Structure 1
Amino acid sequence: MQASAQLKELLHSINRKSYPAYKSLRGAYQFDRYILSIDHVQGDPFASPSHISVKLLHRDTGFPAEYYKDSLTRITLGDFLNRQFEQQVNRYTFRAKGSGKSGLISVSHCGQEVLARTACEITEKGITARFFIGFPANGRTINSPELEKILFDFLPVCVHKAFFYRNLDPEALRKAICLAEDQAFIRQELKKRSLAAFVSDGAILPRESGISSRPMKNSVPFVSPESLRVSMELPHRGTITGMGIPCGITLIVGGGYHGKSTLLNALELGIYDHISGDGREYVITDPYAQKLRSEDGRFIKDVDISLFINDLPNKKDTLCFSTEDASGSTSQAAGIVESMEAGSKVFLLDEDTSATNFMVRDSFMQRVICREKEPITPFLERARDLYEKAGISTILVAGSSGAFFHIADTVIQMDNYHPVDITAVTKKLCQEYPLSDIEAPAFRLPESHRIMTRAKVAPSRHSRPGQPERLKTKVHGKDGFSLGKTEVDLRYVEQLIDSEQTASLALLLKYACEHLIDGKRTLPEIITYLDTQLKRQGLSFFSEGSYIPCGYAMPRIQEIYSCFNRYRRP
């Protein structure tokens, strides 16, 4: 540990030297009630910016102990402080001048959802904030007076305004903590009341636009049908009412543009806590719910899809099915089985993004193409058994096929964004339009003993005999990443909401390939191990060296499974 004055002396000594001299700054320095650590220095002013962290003790910051008493409050406090820090930093970024990324001060950007991030971690002892700074230079010559401005003028103001309780809005922070505890309470109530999801009265479901997750202004507030309305007494807010979607098979129907997909989208993101003012704060879904869709061209490896697909003309084994290029129906069948393996008990589907031949076969088609000639057992014939024999509920948006009314326990019609319970009406109509009486093949839970393998990697000139090849990752936003020369496509994993989650998945897969995949461990064994380590160590599990980098957010175990299942391997 060095004093901040020593850092200032170092800055003076390297001014106008070649850019690599900045590396001499690495280390920790004591500032006024916080420690500044320069963890990694960029190679030149045009490279990725330098990694910086700030550590503060709770005794100095003054936050009430109840705001970091458990995992829930720590994540909420970390999210709140990160947002405050970003607001402060945005006032100073690029105010120091120079070439390339000189003067950049960058913090993780938080969306409408609350995520555990490496950008701001709370422990029993204190707060660690991580961010990036572009070290200033003219060309490739150090301009240390500009960095001195950042570290000694700009940054202390940002830290003191963002991380000290007395400088924050205490009421806004209290509301954030209370909201998180109320949301956690509703999740527990879902289990007790056998509900798959809850949507509060007054919720604003529509979003600002297709590229914005902010609530739409002047949109229609949600009002629950009386028959589905439930009431809860929350610890902080008090009584709240809204629509409880019971476990079982729920159908969401209605005309085009009336809000069906909007409701489903709110439910699929109800696995996350939302910030105050989002409009969906009290839209809460089973935390392990999985959104499913067809994915033409998807990679599938050793999945038992016999529950849905059997007796293929080419005699291919569907008890252990693999393909490099799945069809829509095959990919959706595999997605369901993989979600069951991941422990999901609620499936969310939209007819628009599902394979038609996988979802339903109408009576006319059944007469033209007899059962013996059709290898697909449609989802329509499996949904009831999935609930009654495997405890898996389904929430399905339907817009074209009426066959699903026959198996639905609850039918919700969206009428100009207003939900109407039409279950009783549709049950009467179903008697007038009966389904063809065709018996589906026997229901058998799929089995998985998949041994995890890794893609073959050509040894590089830096490889050492007996040591595994070190793999490089490159994240492509939220949509996927590359691991070595292998691309992992996550575009259709729709509950991934942040590129920092994708970055975490890349590191988890990299770790598994380098340390866990040995041709003996099964996929569930590997993912269970990773999930256990994440729960024990948090995001610090990603640390490969002496520091934990900024830019990572926690994914669910469902997304870890989804990522590993899409990793193309032999």
Structure 2
Amino acid sequence: MRTRRDLEGRLAGIDRRGYPAYKSLRGVYDLGAFELSIDRVQGDPFAAPSALSVHVPAARAGFAPELYATPERCTALEDLLVRRFAAEARCASYAVRGSGKSGLIATSVPGPEVLPRSACEAGAAGVLMRLEMGFPAHGRTVDARGLARMLFELLPACVERALICDEACRRAARAAMELADDQAAVRAELERRGLIAFVADGSVLPRASGVSSRPLEGAVPFRAPERLAVELDLPHRGRVRGMGLPRGITLIVGGGFHGKSTLLKALQEGIYNHVAGDGRELVITESSAMKLRAEDGRAVHAVDISPFIGDLPDGRDTRSFATEDASGSTSQAAATVEALEAGARTLLIDEDTSATNFMVRDALMEAVVAPDREPITPFAERVRGLWKRFGVSCVLVMGSSGAFFPVADCVVQMDGYRALDVTERVRAVCREGGVDAAEDDAPGADDERAAFHASERRMELPGRAFRRDGRGRGPKVRAHGLDGFSVGSGEADLRLVEQLVDAEQVAALAQMVRVLGEERALDGSRGLAEVVGELYRDLERDGWQLLSPYGDTGCGLALPRPQELHCALNRFRVM
């Protein structure tokens, strides 16, 4: 391994040369307190920053093994270290000036969710932090002195303050570990008690604004209705009271602006752990839950939507429905079947973002348009069958229709952001109207068309989308924030996949699709669920390196769930 003196000599030798001379610095250097790896060097000061990593040996980092003893603890520790390093890097960034991105020092900047990220790996070997750095230049001339200051002064200071376990860091790491333990305990209790979600008393669900993830100051803290209240004994917080939503069909009702969608949004993001201070630390949803909605214009690839949509007037086969421009109802029907294929055990639906004709159909409309002239069987007639026959729960936000009252097991009314259990009141209303509530023989429960065959579906990714160029390089991969990504000549629009919360998840999805496309893993010979499961097993075994096309794993990737990879593949279309 090269030493600091070697790096100093190389820097002296390229000072004031053309910018490409920086490429001679690639390699690993022992800087004493840590090892520095210069993995990729940008082509010019205006290009994407250079990729570096620092490795702090365990003896130097000083983190006790208990802090990374379980996957949940390890992820929490890595998340903490990324946040600490990002804060230090932000202070040190651009202390060296120059053209383009000169002087930049950065790594991933997490939101309130705690996600596995390529930016950091912590364990028995120590701490590995990946970062980006803008190698300084004046014009396109190397500023070796500026880079020497960045590498030998600014970067070591960031490492010392962020990655070495002093007393303050030890306290923060222990607090993160204890929160991770408690969150894991809640998830285990959901499974044991037959719950799909838990919302702790005192949780703050509203956000500061539609573009902010910070909790709203002065918001009404959540409190569980008595009948739905459960108490959990957590390893560190002790006994915690909150609302436990049972498996089955739950409705969230109430007037406009009373908190229905706010509660649903907290539930849909409860699939992730959240950091202390977010307000939703103990809002926990079972990990497979998927938020569904209508998506006009999305692509659909050979999905059996016949449980919801029968014979179409144009004669298209809905048992293998494909389109490049789905309607609201066909897109939501496809999304429901795709969610089952992705292993979802809970569906989350808001009427505000649903296709009305997919959700309900009232008696007056049936009196005008005869049932044999309507190919859509509304979700209200299928949801009970999904639960009773397939064990798939559903949480629905409804504010304008009582069509789901007869099939609901639990009804929560939000009134001024306060949760009320109105299940018995709804059942009484149903009885007064001559409607039996939540019966096993609810509409659609025994209908042959309610059979779902999602797990059998196979998919083919067209090989032409992943062709290599004349120099043997793989397809170009571009991520577009939370909007989607492109790989080669294909692209996926993910703007309405609402449980993606971090742009780095989208970047990881793009690389996953590239891997599957280049390896021809989806050639129509195997089921989609089988291929996705295999990729995640490979990723667990091989690490982030699996998603690095040129071997230079950097920061910038966060792990999405398999469910979101299903969503990306189902929306991928070749242009």
TM-score, reference length from structure 2: 0.96
1:245 match: 245
Post-superposition CA distance 1:120-155 (Å, at most 9, x none): 112331211001000000000111111111111111
Alignment of 1:269-284 (within 5 A): 269-284=269-284
Alignment of 1:184-195 (within 5 A): 184-195=184-195
Q: Is 1:534 aligned to residue 529 of structure 2?
A: no
- In 2: Cα distance, 1:461 partner to 1:415 partner: 59
- In 1: Cα distance, 2:235 partner to 2:193 partner: 17
Post-superposition CA distance 1:476-529 (Å, at most 9, x none): 111101111222100011000011000000000011110123343332232121
Aligned match for 1:503, one of 504, 507, 513: 507
- In 1: Cα distance, 2:434 partner to 2:292 partner: 28
Q: Is 1:453 aligned to residue 457 of structure 2?
A: no
1:345 match: 345
Contact 1:358/1:376 (8 A) holds in 2: yes
Structure 1 residue 445, shift from structure 2 partner: 2.2
Q: Report which stretch shifted further, 289-298 or 119-128.
A: 119-128
- In 2: Cα distance, 1:215 partner to 1:174 partner: 24
2:63 match: 63
Q: What amino acid is the match of 2:560?
A: P
Aligned match for 2:483, one of 467, 479, 484: 479
- In 1: Cα distance, 2:101 partner to 2:464 partner: 37
Contact 1:531/1:557 (8 A) holds in 2: yes
Structure 1 residue 452, shift from structure 2 partner: 1.9
Q: What amino acid is the match of 2:91?
A: R
Q: What amino acid is the match of 1:527?
A: V
Q: Report which stretch shifted further, 436-445 or 382-391.
A: 436-445
Alignment of 1:191-230 (within 5 A): 191-230=191-230
1:394 match: 394
Contact 1:539/1:553 (8 A) holds in 2: no
Q: What amino acid is the match of 1:399?
A: G
TM-score, reference length from structure 1: 0.97
Structure 1 residue 167, shift from structure 2 partner: 5.7
Alignment of 1:110-129 (within 5 A): 110-129=110-129
- In 1: Cα distance, 2:467 partner to 2:69 partner: 48
- In 2: Cα distance, 1:253 partner to 1:458 partner: 47
- In 2: Cα distance, 1:513 partner to 1:415 partner: 49
- In 2: Cα distance, 1:307 partner to 1:210 partner: 36
Find the residue that maps to 1:520 and give its secondary structure.
strand
Structure 1 residue 97, shift from structure 2 partner: 0.7
- In 1: Cα distance, 2:29 partner to 2:349 partner: 53
Contact 1:409/1:423 (8 A) holds in 2: yes
Find the residue that maps to 1:208 and give its secondary structure.
strand
Structure 1 residue 166, shift from structure 2 partner: 1.8
1:297 match: 297
Find the residue that maps to 2:284 and give its secondary structure.
strand
2:493 match: 489
Find the residue that maps to 2:459 and give its secondary structure.
coil
Alignment of 1:74-93 (within 5 A): 74-93=74-93
Aligned match for 2:525, one of 520, 541, 546: 520
Find the residue that maps to 1:198 and give its secondary structure.
strand
Alignment of 1:66-465 (within 5 A): 66-166=66-166, 168-434=168-434, 440=444, 441-442=447-448, 443-447=450-454, 448-454=456-462, 456-457=464-465, 462=470
- In 2: Cα distance, 1:449 partner to 1:353 partner: 26
Structure 1 residue 542, shift from structure 2 partner: 1.3
Unaligned runs of at least 5 residues, structure 1 = none
Structure 1 residues 438 and 98, CA, compared in 2 at 3 Å: closer, same or farther? closer
Q: What amino acid is the match of 1:154?
A: L
- In 2: Cα distance, 1:415 partner to 1:461 partner: 59
Q: Is 1:558 aligned to residue 566 of structure 2?
A: no
Q: What amino acid is the match of 2:513?
A: L
- In 1: Cα distance, 2:544 partner to 2:464 partner: 28
Q: What amino acid is the match of 1:374?
A: E
Structure 1 residue 41, shift from structure 2 partner: 0.3
- In 2: Cα distance, 1:451 partner to 1:205 partner: 39
Structure 1 residue 457, shift from structure 2 partner: 4.0
Q: Is 1:49 aligned to residue 54 of structure 2?
A: no
Q: Report which stretch shifted further, 426-435 or 327-336.
A: 426-435
Structure 1 residues 112 and 135, CA, compared in 2 at 3 Å: closer, same or farther? same
Structure 1 residue 315, shift from structure 2 partner: 1.8
- In 2: Cα distance, 1:454 partner to 1:241 partner: 51
Q: Is 1:8 aligned to residue 8 of structure 2?
A: yes
Unaligned runs of at least 5 residues, structure 2 = none
Q: What amino acid is the match of 1:278?
A: D
CA RMSD of superposed structures (Å): 1.7
Q: Report which stretch shifted further, 374-383 or 509-518.
A: 509-518
- In 1: Cα distance, 2:257 partner to 2:161 partner: 45
Post-superposition CA distance 1:25-52 (Å, at most 9, x none): 1011111221001000000000001001
Q: What amino acid is the match of 1:31?
A: L
Contact 2:466/2:489 (8 A) holds in 1: no
Find the residue that maps to 2:213 and give its secondary structure.
strand
- In 2: Cα distance, 1:188 partner to 1:347 partner: 20
